[in-house]
Amino acid sequence: MEIKDLGEFGLIERLTQILSIKDHSVLVGFGDDCSCIDIKGEKILFTSDIQLEGRHFIKRLIQPEDLGWKVVSVNVSDIVACGGEPKWGFISVGFPKDLSVEYVENIYKGIKKACDFYKMSVIGGNTTASDSIFLDLFLTGKTDRFVPRGGAEEGQMLMVCGYLGEARAGLEIAMEKGLNNLAGYEKRLIKRFSRPTADIHLSDRLSRYASAGIDISDGLVADLYHLSKASGVEVILDKNKLPVSPDLKRYCQQKGKDPLEYILYGGEDYKVVFTVDKRDTIQFPECKVIGFIGAKGEGVFLKDGSIVKKLEKKGFSHL
């Protein structure tokens, strides 16, 4: 059998069985956005995420400074999803030997800007020569209360901040047109892909009010399937409440495409979807209710008026 026969999540399941965790200070191990350890009453979060040339980015379609910013943001997003604040990072990098010093420095300028923005530090790392560029950040954080994927309960509201699906549209534009001679809305969509900003402003309130959370890296539906499975509940999206960005609308009009496809399956948005009791939705005035948690079970559904249909479990798999 080859690893592609298992798929990303099948492989993870087999490998985590080998590494069975016996340490009682580990509050959360594999299977969530972060792992969590109790150190003398403090809850410390751990996560890591990589940006690999040819897999996560194409060199000519992203500025090096954006790449540095992005590798930090995708990791911060996982920390935020667990209700945490990012603290200390450790970065492993690989570069081809003929890469210019200026290019590498610009990556690090992007990393530094992101560190300042998120109030965290990268404090160490490791360097190697490599055929393609990779940046692998290991990030720690702290939280007062760990927000898991598995805490959603029937009747709770599902919320998100900002627009979904824009990053996918941005990637398509960059692939088709490159980075020059673009309209304003096209530039903005590309930025959503190449320079995403994690929902850091939500961290504190998520740890106080959210019962469950996950960041949308593989696509709304794909990631909600993880939340649904972990929580043992059905997740119902309300079609008429999903916010459609004006830029995405414009792009889809031009291309004759349906914005809903992008919103449901786009991926790489790095927004946190979370669940709260109805009375606590007022704690998140800048966010929108996009659905609710249904009965015990599993599955992600789309409600359009009185019609409810199950959504296909497709999304981005890394293998």
Which spans of this chain sit near Mg ion (rule: CB under 5 A)? 33, 49, 78, 215
Between the CA of residue 245 and those of 3, 175, 188, what are the distances in Å?
38, 21, 11
Closer residue to Mg ion (CB): 73 or 247: 73
Strands of 134-143's sheet, edge to edge?
A: 26-28, 35-39, 42-52, 134-143, 85-95, 121-129
Q: How far is the CB of 99 from Mg ion (least distance, A)?
A: 25
Q: How far is the CB of 132 from Mg ion (least distance, A)?
A: 20
Q: How far is the CB of 278 from Mg ion (least distance, A)?
A: 25
Strands of 307-310's sheet, edge to edge?
A: 212-215, 272-276, 157-161, 287-296, 233-238, 299-304, 307-310
Q: How far is the CB of 219 from Mg ion (least distance, A)?
A: 12
Closer residue to Mg ion (CB): 259 or 266: 266
* Rounded Cα gap, residues 146 and 20, in angstroms: 21
Closer residue to Mg ion (CB): 78 or 247: 78
Q: How far is the CB of 223 from Mg ion (least distance, A)?
A: 7
Closer residue to Mg ion (CB): 136 or 247: 136
Neighbouring residues of 90: CB distance < 8 A, sequence distance ≥ 6: 122, 123, 124, 125, 137, 138, 139
* Rounded Cα gap, residues 62 and 72, in angstroms: 15
Joined tokens for residue 11? 């492989």
In the Cβ-directed half-sphere of 47, how many Cα atoms lie within 13 Å? Answer: 26
Closer residue to Mg ion (CB): 33 or 234: 33
Q: How many residues does the chain have?
A: 319
Q: How far is CA 40 from the centre of its chain?
A: 29
Q: How far is the CB of 53 from Mg ion (least distance, A)?
A: 18
Joined tokens for residue 115? 């560190």
Closer residue to Mg ion (CB): 32 or 186: 32
Residue whose tokens read 């690893």: 3
First to last CA, the chain: 14
Closer residue to Mg ion (CB): 51 or 211: 51
Joined tokens for residue 113? 């800007």
Contact 227, 212 (CB under 8 A): yes
Between the CA of residue 146 and those of 81, 210, 226, what are the distances in Å?
9, 10, 17
Closer residue to Mg ion (CB): 172 or 215: 215
Q: How far is the CB of 216 from Mg ion (least distance, A)?
A: 8
Q: How far is the CB of 250 from Mg ion (least distance, A)?
A: 29
